Amino acid sequence: MTHSTADVVICGAGIAGVSAAYHLAVRQGVKNVVLVDERSPLTLTSDKSSECYRNWWPGPGDAMVSFMNRSIDILEELARESGNIFNMNRRGYLWATADPARIEDFKRTAEESSSLGAGPIRYHTGQPNEPAYIPASAEGFENRPTGADIILDPALIRQHFPYLSEQTVGLLHARRCGWLSAQQYGMYMLERAQANGVELISARIGGGVDVSGNRVRAVRLSNGNGSEIISTPNFVNAAGPLAKQVGQMIGLDLPVFCELHSKVAINDHLEIVPRDAPMVIWADPTCLSWSEEERTALTESEETNWLLDEFPVGVHTRPEGAGDSPIILVVWAYHIEPVEEPTFPLRACFLKTAEVFCEIFSSEFASIMTLTCS
Ligand SMILES: Cc1cc2nc3c(=O)[nH]c(=O)nc-3n(C[C@H](O)[C@H](O)[C@H](O)COP(=O)(O)OP(=O)(O)OC[C@H]3O[C@@H](n4cnc5c(N)ncnc54)[C@H](O)[C@@H]3O)c2cc1C
């Protein structure tokens, strides 16, 4: 057993732990920071994300909008100082509906987010004297509108978003939103943290955390070569989906739970979704349009009869990759039952999401799509 000391021990080298290490060592000048992970950095959840950000959140209260505005300020600072090495864009999130009744929801939620500090709302209904709609640029994030555009003018919808269903009647385009390469962002922070003295240790915090007098005293590590104790007064729990289990090591029962979220990557070889599209979110529930023959066949088995049900709102998609990449990502928070004890690797549950997504955008596309899982 070896002994060492540290000012701070961080459990977990996902984006949260790496960011904590960066901010402690680089921004705050803390000298002796140790980052511990049993996996390679950024490989459990942080490289599976759809890598998007938004300041567009509902209430109650302005906590999320304020928190995200501050986080996006920091992201932009890091993008500027690094020459935008992690390709941060500001294409926005585009909610779309084919249901005229939902337009009131768009207006209500937009007024709410705007009043909480997310920026102004611009209406585009086809009336004279309205502000011009400024389309998003594919790259970069500087000097772009904030707030949101609510687009109800059918001609404007067709002009800028011809790839959406012809039944689309309303759009909400939230603007201080977009995506980046989370992997490159994380590696940028990790390399800078290491250059400022952060030590990355490949081990599991498996032996527990010593606590006495209501203070953390030491952290017990194990790896293939044996075990190690690091004496420290400060412990950061950045264990992601394992945060509850790690919290128990210091006697805390954190009020958190896990949900399974899936992401599919589809080869959009028919080029249904343009490469400069924003994050598109279909805001209506959806039913698949099966033939009578298909319906009969699907009804016969419990494994397939769910395909006849109505599917929930909120399928997300965006283009992924540079240049002429044909890939689009699809994300749907579909299986939202809490998972008691997360285990890895997760069970794949992607097909449902992909099929419904494809039906929304093009049934022809659905019939010849290829599906890969990530
Ligand atoms: C499909 C999907 C899409 C998503 N899309 C978005 C999005 O668009 N935007 C967004 O902001 N977020 C998104 N998220 C959420 C985002 O990915 C996570 O919130 C984020 O990656 C969590 O990072 P983390 O550092 O907390 O956890 P993780 O990346 O999971 O890192 C935790 C680390 O802790 C380590 N660890 C745990 N226990 C121990 C231990 N005892 N000893 C040592 N190491 C330990 C693990 O090995 C792991 O490396 C998405 C998530 C999913 C699954």
Protein residue whose Cα sits closest to atom 44 of ligand 1: 37
CATH code of the domain containing 15: 3.50.50.60
Domain contains 328: yes
Q: How far is the CA of 20 from the centre of ligand 1 (A)?
A: 13
With cut-offs at 50, 70 and 90, classify the pLDDT of residue 357: low
CA–CA separation, 257 and 240 (whole Å)? 10
Measured N-to-C along each axis, helices 15-22 and 182-195 cross at an angle, to the nearest 10 degrees, of: 40
Q: Tell which of 249, 275, 297 closes a domain.
A: 249
Domain contains 262: yes
Cβ of 12 closer than 6 Å to ligand 1, yes or no, is: yes
pLDDT (0 to 100) of residue 344: 82
Q: Is the pLDDT of residue 351 over 70?
A: no
Domain contains 73: no
Residues 155 and 186 in one domain: no
Q: Do 288 and 354 form a contact (C-beta atoms < 8 A)?
A: no
DSSP output for 341-355: S--SSPPP--HHHHH
Domain that residue 31 falls in: 2-51+182-249
Residues 30 and 168 in one domain: no
pLDDT (0 to 100) of residue 342: 84
Residues 142 and 239 in one domain: no
Domain contains 80: no
Ligand 1 atom nearest residue 206's Cα: 41
CA–CA separation, 83 and 133 (whole Å)? 29
Q: 87-96, 98-107, 127-136, 337-346: which has the minimum mean pLDDT?
A: 337-346
Cβ of 78 closer than 6 Å to ligand 1, yes or no, is: no
The model's pLDDT over 246-261, given as tens digits with 9 standing for 90+, comes to 999 999 999 999 988 8
With cut-offs at 50, 70 and 90, classify the pLDDT of residue 339: confident
Q: Is the pLDDT of residue 373 over 90?
A: no
CATH code of the domain containing 143: 3.30.9.10
Residues 274 and 355 in one domain: yes
**Angle in degrees, CA 180, 183, 189, rounded to 5:** 95
Pairing of strands 2-5, 121-124: unpaired
Give 96's strand partners: 171, 282
Instruction: Tokens for 266, please give them.
Output: 């589809």
Q: Tell which of 224, 249, 274 closes a domain.
A: 249
Q: How far is the CA of 240 from the centre of ligand 1 (A)?
A: 5
Q: In what order do the strands lie in the sheet with 33-37?
A: 199-202, 33-37, 8-11, 235-237
Domain contains 237: yes
Instruction: Tokens for 185, please give them.
Output: 């962002």
Tokens 């690091």 belong to 230
pLDDT (0 to 100) of residue 225: 72
Q: How far is the CA of 56 from the centre of ligand 1 (A)?
A: 21
The upper half-sphere exposure of residue 182, i.e. CA atoms within 13 Å in the direction of its Cβ, equals: 21
Q: Tell which of 249, 279, 297 closes a domain.
A: 249
What type of residue is 244? K
Q: Is the pLDDT of residue 360 over 60?
A: no
Protein residue whose Cα sits closest to atom 14 of ligand 1: 49
Residues 194 and 337 in one domain: no
Ligand 1 atom nearest residue 239's Cα: 34
Q: How far is the CA of 182 from the centre of ligand 1 (A)?
A: 11
Cβ of 220 closer than 6 Å to ligand 1, yes or no, is: no
Entry field: residues in the chain? 374
What type of residue is 170? G
The model's pLDDT over 198-225, given as tens digits with 9 standing for 90+, comes to 999 999 999 899 999 999 999 999 877 7
Give 200's strand partners: 35
Residues 186 and 174 in one domain: no
The model's pLDDT over 101-111, given as tens digits with 9 standing for 90+, comes to 999 999 999 99
Instruction: Tokens for 206, please give them.
Output: 């498996």
Measured N-to-C along each axis, helices 182-195 and 63-81 cross at an angle, to the nearest 10 degrees, of: 70
Cβ of 45 closer than 6 Å to ligand 1, yes or no, is: yes
CA–CA separation, 187 and 231 (whole Å)? 27
Give alpha helix (H) positions in the chain.
Answer: 15-22, 63-81, 102-113, 154-160, 182-195, 243-249, 292-299, 351-361, 363-368
pLDDT (0 to 100) of residue 367: 34
Protein residue whose Cα sits closest to atom 51 of ligand 1: 49
Cβ of 242 closer than 6 Å to ligand 1, yes or no, is: yes
Q: What is the mean pLDDT of the chain?
A: 90
Cβ of 90 closer than 6 Å to ligand 1, yes or no, is: no
Q: Is the pLDDT of residue 365 over 70?
A: no
Please compute the mean of the pLDDT values over residues 294-321 and round it to a whole number.
Answer: 88
pLDDT (0 to 100) of residue 368: 29
Q: Comparing 364 with 328, which gets the higher pLDDT? A: 328
Residues 278 and 146 in one domain: yes
Q: How far is the CA of 47 from the centre of ligand 1 (A)?
A: 8
Which one-letter DSSP state was computed for residue 130?
A: P
CA–CA separation, 135 and 141 (whole Å)? 13
Cα 273 versus chain centre, distance: 20
Residue from 34, 35, 46, 279 whose mutation best tests the ligand 1 pocket (most atoms within 8 A of CB) = 46
Distances (CA, A) of 169 to 25, 94, 157, 273, 339: 50, 13, 8, 19, 37
Please compute the mean of the pLDDT values over residues 41-54 and round it to a whole number.
Answer: 95
pLDDT (0 to 100) of residue 374: 27
Domain contains 289: yes
Domain contains 367: yes
Residues 262 and 314 in one domain: yes
Residues 36 and 114 in one domain: no
Cβ of 239 closer than 6 Å to ligand 1, yes or no, is: yes
pTM confidence score = 0.91
Give 52's strand partners: 179
Number of domains in the chain: 2
Question: What are residue 231's phi and psi, to 5 degrees?
Answer: -75, 130
CA–CA separation, 219 and 205 (whole Å)? 7
